[in-house]
Structure 1
């Protein structure tokens, strides 16, 4: 199944839902319309019981997402009110990925710049090609950068390293990204998609209710302590014990076979 919403493609392939940024001539730089399309695609995959993991990628071979489409700024950020609207819509797009109830993976090849970093940092897992390039060039444009992006990047690489990335605007290569903990793995470009599929399928073979419970706990732990809803997280944990999948997991273990989880 494949459906295109402007320059964003939603593709379902077995248990994997793909969100593909498809604006190759602009290195997949994200326009306002592209940002607006993402939350609906994520919500659809989140609600689909057949989809167990979601992967974000850029079309072509040169770029994951090369930031926001700056050429449109004069049309969509003409005054303070429009700029606020733009920021809110963009942040809502990143947040939809971050709050997805299922595990998410950023498959990064080539440029991962500005807003591309926001989408990548909003994913649970990041796997990149050896040709990946990471940067946040807001200081070179005179733009403010959404604070949620700073918060998420701080969690990944620590405040000291994040300061270097933000204050200098310099580029990190794939090995820099691996060294600071921005990405989990680096593979050769020709092997990237196969590795991401393998990783995603490994997640997809696990118990869906357990994955959802784990994801909810991670999200709650990243909230301010006063805002955490650990009762809701605990209810999801308890539901795993009462599930048919738990019975299947025990049976598969006893019978020395792979479990066949149904998400029930």
Structure 2
């Protein structure tokens, strides 16, 4: 896939999707999300691939949605009908990864923040480097956690821990993530991709159709109510985006100060 943010390499039934914007944040801009969505969808009818690894930069996965993206400013100026379409970029990206037939593995180094966490839980497995951290700060920014992430997080860690992660905005280190079931393996720093490859090669050695059928069965069993419980998070985000607390949360973050929320 020729583009400037996402690259794909495939070898012996294993694909590696690399996401790297070449900056410190490796944030999810609107363009980056489109490229990641296209990458995921390229595997939807790809019987020769048994495992897909998603990885970010060598020292960080991603710091989440790009709050400085000019596309976000344009989006907030749109009427509701247009904003609803623009806001689908994140949910569509996560859904595209969830719908890949092959086993998907997120290889996480460093920070995995906000939308990055939503993307990681849309994958089947997560490998975290020892110093990696998952952080979902949306509520602290005056917004709700969206992109269909809440049902997926709850299926992985249970309701109380999902609340600690997404409502209380606790920073979850790799050891805690492993204990909670949010991570499936923890490895030394710099080796997340290598450890993810071990899962991928195990998948590639199995009968591909049977593997994919079982993956689908598990997803249906675990996420049967995900659409019923997650369908409104986009509408909630569109509403929160018009609140004073949303504006204050984003401004405080960009200005590096403590927010002053009013509940409005």
- Counterparts of 1:45 and 1:124 in 2: how far apart (Å)? 15
Contact 1:4 1:10 in 2 (8 A): no
Distance 1:40 1:147, change over 3 A: closer
Aligned residues: 224
- Equivalent in the alignment of 2:122: 122
Q: CA deviation at 1:202?
A: 1.0
Structure 1 unaligned blocks of 5 or more: 228-264
Report which stretch shifted further, 47-56 or 37-46. 37-46
SS in structure 1 at match of 2:10:
strand
- Equivalent in the alignment of 2:67: 70
- Equivalent in the alignment of 1:22: 20
- Equivalent in the alignment of 1:236: none
Contact 2:12 2:204 in 1 (8 A): no
Report which stretch shifted further, 136-145 or 103-112. 136-145
- Counterparts of 1:190 and 1:145 in 2: how far apart (Å)? 29
Q: CA deviation at 1:144?
A: 2.4
Q: Which of structure 1's runs of 4+ aligned residues deviate more than 6 A? A: none
- Counterparts of 2:8 and 2:76 in 1: how far apart (Å)? 27
Distance 1:104 1:4, change over 3 A: same
1:1-264 map, 5 Å:
3-59=1-57, 61-72=58-69, 73-79=72-78, 81=80, 82-146=82-146, 148-221=148-221, 222-224=223-225
Report which stretch shifted further, 63-72 or 41-50. 41-50
SS in structure 1 at match of 2:65:
coil
Contact 1:99 1:219 in 2 (8 A): no
Q: CA deviation at 1:80?
A: 5.1
- Counterparts of 1:192 and 1:62 in 2: how far apart (Å)? 10
- Counterparts of 1:80 and 1:129 in 2: how far apart (Å)? 42
Q: TM-score, normalised by structure 2?
A: 0.79
Structure 2 unaligned blocks of 5 or more: 229-264
- Counterparts of 1:112 and 1:129 in 2: how far apart (Å)? 11
SS in structure 1 at match of 2:107:
strand
- Counterparts of 2:79 and 2:152 in 1: how far apart (Å)? 25
Structure possessing the higher radius of gyration over alpha carbons: 1
Distance 1:65 1:89, change over 3 A: same
Q: CA deviation at 1:9?
A: 1.5
SS in structure 1 at match of 2:210:
helix
Contact 1:77 1:86 in 2 (8 A): no
Q: CA deviation at 1:27?
A: 2.4
CA RMSD of aligned residues (A): 2.1
- Counterparts of 2:141 and 2:77 in 1: how far apart (Å)? 16
Contact 2:128 2:174 in 1 (8 A): yes
Q: CA deviation at 1:196?
A: 1.5
Q: CA deviation at 1:154?
A: 0.4
Higher relative helix content: 1
Q: TM-score, normalised by structure 1?
A: 0.79
- Counterparts of 2:48 and 2:25 in 1: how far apart (Å)? 31
Q: List per-residue Cα deviations over 1:164-216 (Å, max 9, x = no partner).
A: 11222231111111121100111001332222212211111100010111022
